[in-house]
Amino acid sequence: MSRLTYDSSPMTRRRWIADEASGNRAALTGDHADHLVRVLRARTGQEFDIATDAMVRRGRIVTIQDGRVEFELGEAVAASPPLDLTLLLAIFKFDRMEWAIEKCTELGASRIVPVMARRTDAHLAASSLKRVERWRRIALQAAEQSRRAAPPEIASPIKLQDVVSLTPAALRILLAESKPHFRLRDVLAAHPAREIVLAIGPEGGWAEDELQLFEKSGWVFASLGHTILRAETAAITATAIAISELT
């Protein structure tokens, strides 16, 4: 069997997350493949890093067909270990929420759970189930752009009361500006953890009964400072701070 050799630097090769993988072969399919061919003008013999369920490997394009690009896989490529950061993201305006999902994916969030809070607009809550696939595509594209080995899990929207008890073994932190509490960075420093859950509220913040529910369920309250941030800014800022502690 011939051995694949490569000349390009690992940091200059674009990374793709395979839709299919078996043995020493992997493939991109559908719109994923069409983007590589039509937008990036891929050609046979071109080299990329290919992420599969098992690992990231070097790959060379061997065939290009309509809606399908196949790769021959070579040696493994060093990849950063996955982080364990879950975001409970109260649903807000979709354009801003997409921005938050994209940027939090680039930063390294491992799971994003859209939450229907009391102050979530009723129309947005009703429409959110139809947006999940779009959110997952955005997360996939952001994961590839930022050279992740896998996109974060994007869960289906869920009601707050059904998710507030999520992963009780993790360090669970509620971002809320209406309660006296410590800065997020100080909370993370005081409670070292490898698994973190952050809850970010909707525009207008959490309702009082929701704050009580979090408190009764053992969540730690934290602040991002005296400035009141938009929901998407709070999500991105909190993710960046938490990732810095996890790494």
The pLDDT of residue 62 is above 60 = yes
Q: Which residues contact 46 (CB under 8 A, 6 or more apart)?
A: 60, 61
Kindly state the average pLDDT of the residues 225-244: 92
Q: Which residues contact 73 (CB under 8 A, 6 or more apart)?
A: 4, 21, 23, 24, 25, 26, 50, 52, 57, 58, 59
Q: Which residue is listed with tokens 């979090």?
A: 214
16-20, 25-29, 158-162, 179-183: range with lowest mean pLDDT: 179-183
The pLDDT of residue 54 is above 70 = no
The pLDDT of residue 8 is above 50 = no
pLDDT of residue 228: 84
User: Is it true that domain 15-76 has CATH number 1.10.600.10?
Assistant: no
pLDDT of residue 1: 39
pLDDT of residue 159: 92
- Mean of the per-residue pLDDT values for the chain? 89
Pull the structure tokens for residue 80: 């950063």
pLDDT of residue 2: 40
| Amino acid residing at 155 | A
Phi, psi of 145 (to 5 degrees): -60, -35
Q: Which range has the top average pLDDT, 102-116, 155-169, 220-234?
A: 102-116
Burial 209-219 (b: 16+ CB within 10 A, else e): ebbebbeeeeb
Domain boundaries, the chain: 15-76, 85-246
Q: Which residue is listed with tokens 């050279």?
A: 147
Kindly state the average pLDDT of the residues 54-78: 91
SS3 235: helix
As a whole number of angstroms, the distance between CA 78 and CA 115 comes to: 35
Kindly state the average pLDDT of the residues 87-95: 96
Kindly indicate the confidence band of residue 127, based on its pLDDT and cuts at 50, 70 and 90: very high
Question: Which of the two residues, 225 and 70, has the higher pLDDT score?
Answer: 70
29-38, 137-146, 232-241: range with lowest mean pLDDT: 29-38
Kindly indicate the confidence band of residue 158, based on its pLDDT and cuts at 50, 70 and 90: very high
As a whole number of angstroms, the distance between CA 60 and CA 55 comes to: 16
Q: What Rg value do the Cα atoms of the chain yield, rounded?
A: 20
- Taking alpha carbons only, the member of 62, 54, 65, 67 closest to residue 25 is 62
Kindly indicate the confidence band of residue 7, based on its pLDDT and cuts at 50, 70 and 90: very low
pLDDT of residue 12: 65
pLDDT of residue 227: 84
pTM above 0.85, yes or no: no
Superfamily of domain 85-246: SPOUT methyltransferase, trefoil knot domain (3.40.1280.10)
pLDDT of residue 78: 79
Pull the structure tokens for residue 176: 């809320």
Pull the structure tokens for residue 157: 């929207």
Kindly indicate the confidence band of residue 180, based on its pLDDT and cuts at 50, 70 and 90: low
Task: Return the DSSP state at 50.
Answer: E
